[in-house]
Amino acid sequence: MIDHHVHGVVRSVLPRPAFELLINEGGWVAPPGTSHFDSSLGAAIRRWCAPVLGLDPLCPPDTYLGRRAELGDEANRLLLRAAAGAGLVGAYVDTGHRSGEVCTPEELGALAGVPAWEVVRVESVFEEAAAAAAAEGRVAELPDRWAALLRRRALTAVGLKSVVAYRHGFDLDPTPPAPGEVVVAVERWLQDAVAGAPGDRPPRLRVADPVLLRHILWEAAAVGREQRLPLQLHAGFGDADLDLHRVDPVVFTPWLRAWRSLDLPVVFLHCWPYHRQAAYLAAIWPSVYFDLGASLNYVGARAPAVLAEALEVAPWSKLLYSSDAFGLAELVHLGAVAFVRGLDAVLSRWVESGELTAVDADRVRSLAGAGNARRLYAGAPGLRASGAGPAGTPGPAAPVP
């Protein structure tokens, strides 16, 4: 499988509170008297990761974390190699989220023993360009500078990623803003950020202005189209920054309509509990792909049930695999296990009852696991530049620069 959307892992030892924060999307500690281990994901880690570290399945959390601490970085290597053992052959790594806390794509690939490429988060690039432009007092140049920076970053990337879901939601006017509007919005945004920053520290730049988000999406679409980079979009299941119903993929439909002639592939990530809706868009719109991402990890034993719902109307050529693991090597491994086992549970039942041939089932497995990603990302400059075929085919391990 190609994990077409994943993040780096933390390489230092994690005390229980820090570990618990990484197995819950909320970002808050569990209320007094409770633990984030008391969940489907907590149970799945005890079930599937404990044996990788030489422990009994379903051992208590403290036993697990004790063993993990003893092993240090070796735990990461064991879990990532276990993911490779479960079928992982390549990783596309989003580098735009808290990148200072986790390892690089190169390091992740080396730990897992698989090639890794970079997915560029467009809002992060915009914020990076804005910080530089603001520091130099050249705010008016931001639109040009960010476009140039994005194009430069694209040259070694395998995909683009947007988190407009976290910054506003998909209920955004799908027309491109006029250049004049963008300049006004940039100035207002930077002024507000400076005004809100304490004393002599640099302002925190988090773009959430609807005009700027529209501008970023249209520019990302242009670059994606030029460079043959699919655009990944966070959808559904996420943290407290988002309003779930506003990140249902179908709310993005007016954008699909506006982009119809661009021929730009759009990949909705996670999607749960709107995975049927994502599958529907993938069935109707030639440009749409989707995965179940982090949600397969979070639903634990229910992964087959969620996959079965996703497979109702999903074209076999449109479902992809990702773990969306962030911080924990456990999540890379679990994602692979949940996907392989879940898909197998669904497809075996259908073969058994005569709904599919065994050959059909193998095709679905192979397409969803890697074939669709290979086809979709085949033209990405990161893959072309590295001289490699798509991940998983022979070629240099081709880490990102």
In the complex, which residues of this chain contact a second copy (CB under 8 A)?
24-26, 28-31, 33-36, 38-40, 43-44, 47, 57-58, 237, 239-240, 243-245, 248, 250-251, 253-254, 256-257, 272-273, 276-277, 280-281, 283-286, 295, 298-302, 305-306, 308-309, 311-318, 350, 353-357, 360, 363, 367, 375
C-alpha 151/C-alpha 370 separation (Å) is 27
Nearer to a second copy, 58 or 140 (CB): 58
Q: Which two tokens stand for residue 117?
A: 């490429």
Nearer to a second copy, 20 or 209 (CB): 20
Nearer to a second copy, 74 or 241 (CB): 241
Smallest distance from a second copy to CB 400, Å: 27
The dihedral built from the CA positions of residue 245, 233, 86 and 27, taken in this order, carries a sign that is negative
C-alpha 344/C-alpha 304 separation (Å) is 8
Smallest distance from a second copy to CB 265, Å: 9
Nearer to a second copy, 56 or 70 (CB): 56
Smallest distance from a second copy to CB 245, Å: 5
C-beta of residue 5 within 8 angstroms of C-beta of residue 97: no
Q: Which of 382, 389, 121 has the alpha carbon at shortest distance from 227?
A: 382
C-alpha 9/C-alpha 97 separation (Å) is 12
Smallest distance from a second copy to CB 242, Å: 8
Nearer to a second copy, 225 or 375 (CB): 375
The count of other CB atoms within 10 Å of the CB of residue 258 is 16
**Cα separation values, 297 from 36, 68, 185, Å:** 14, 19, 38
Smallest distance from a second copy to CB 195, Å: 22
E strand spans, 274-364: 288-291, 319-320
C-alpha 144/C-alpha 218 separation (Å) is 14
Nearer to a second copy, 135 or 359 (CB): 359
Smallest distance from a second copy to CB 134, Å: 28
